[in-house]
Amino acid sequence: MRSPFPGMKPYLENPELWSAVHNRLIVAIADDLVDHLSEKYRVEIEKRTYFSSDEESVLVGIPNVAVVTGKTAEPTSSIATVSLPVQPQKVTIPISEEVNERYLEIREVATGTVVTVIELLSPKNKRSGEGRMAYERKRNQVLASATHLVEIDLLRGGKPFPITSQNLGDYRILICRGDRQPNGELYAFSLRQLIPPFPIPLMTGEAEPILNLQPLLDRVYEKGRYYLAIDYTKPPQPPLSEDDRQWAEILLRG
């Protein structure tokens, strides 16, 4: 079953689905690039690991570690009083989880040099916490080098990374060439548009292959059978604007 949405599929942005979608799409991009690169290059799937607590599961007002202690009040008279035993209380303790985020590196075979880094953003990259800090460290490291950065943001939720632009769209693809800093190329597009094809920068003078992400995402949607996991009678998360909600309802009815 094909998705009713022509471009990005907003229901795939749900954090419960995105992790699997992210992994499938990273592999699809890597395989597609190999078909368009000379044997001068290799494409590696790399992994960034950090520990993160799920802030949403932390109850307000409950500390990370609760120690239950008993304190007997000072007697107000010489008559002995019997204090009630302290009863344990129910508490929730956030537990850090190991997070693995995959990204791509295009390397020159002869030298092992990382020519281009391709990042597909996750929800944790776009909200405050260790996920954003870990990604920012890697991002700043790449931007301070001669390595090219391709940053793919297919998530409406969260806080976008700073970009000087009058139109950030619903989704973004940012290309930062290492030899043109701080200038970059931004492909900003809406929910209603197809994902635009874009070039993958390589070494100076090399022909740049075009990555057509739209058919790769469509294939991930179909091969992952996400139409069986999505309840289209409910609104997507994060929710759509009122105009887009009405537009989506027409698509879904069709």
Beta carbons of 13 and 155 less than 8 angstroms apart: yes
Mean pLDDT in the chain?
88
Q: Which of 110, 137, 136, 116 is nearest to 179 (CA)?
A: 116
Residue 204 has a pLDDT of 92
Residue 97 has a pLDDT of 77
Percent of the chain, pLDDT > 70? 88
Q: Measured between alpha carbons, how far is 100 from 105 in angstroms, rounded to an integer?
A: 16
Residue 163 has a pLDDT of 87
pTM (whole model) above 0.85: no
Q: Measured between alpha carbons, how far is 217 from 214 in angstroms, rounded to an integer?
A: 5
Q: Measured between alpha carbons, how far is 230 from 247 in angstroms, rounded to an integer?
A: 18
Residue 14 has a pLDDT of 94
Tell me which amino acid residue 50 is.
Y
Sequence length of the chain is 254
The least confident of 3-7, 70-74, 247-251 is 70-74
pLDDT in tens, 199-252: 999 999 999 999 999 999 999 999 999 999 999 999 999 999 999 999 999 999
Q: Measured between alpha carbons, how far is 71 from 74 in angstroms, rounded to an integer?
A: 9
pLDDT in tens, 91-122: 877 777 788 899 999 999 999 999 999 999 99
Is the pLDDT reported for residue 69 higher than 50?
no
Residue 197 has a pLDDT of 98
Tokens 């469509």 map to which residue? 218
Q: Which of 213, 220, 238 is nearest to 150 (CA)?
A: 213
Please state the rounded mean pLDDT for residues 130-144.
93
Residue 50 has a pLDDT of 84
Structural tokens at position 206:
């090399």
Q: Which of 135, 161, 149 is nearest to 49 (CA)?
A: 135
> Residue 71's pLDDT band (boundaries 50, 70, 90)?
very low
> Residue 78's pLDDT band (boundaries 50, 70, 90)?
low
Is the pLDDT reported for residue 81 higher than 80?
no
Residue 57 has a pLDDT of 37
> Residue 123's pLDDT band (boundaries 50, 70, 90)?
very high
Structural tokens at position 99:
């997070």
| 176 CB-near residues (< 8 Å, 6+ apart) | 142, 143, 148, 149, 150, 151, 184
Quick count: other Cβ atoms within 10 Å of Cβ 8? 24
SS3 content of the chain, % helix, strand, coil (to 5): 30, 20, 50
The least confident of 19-33, 62-76, 152-166 is 62-76
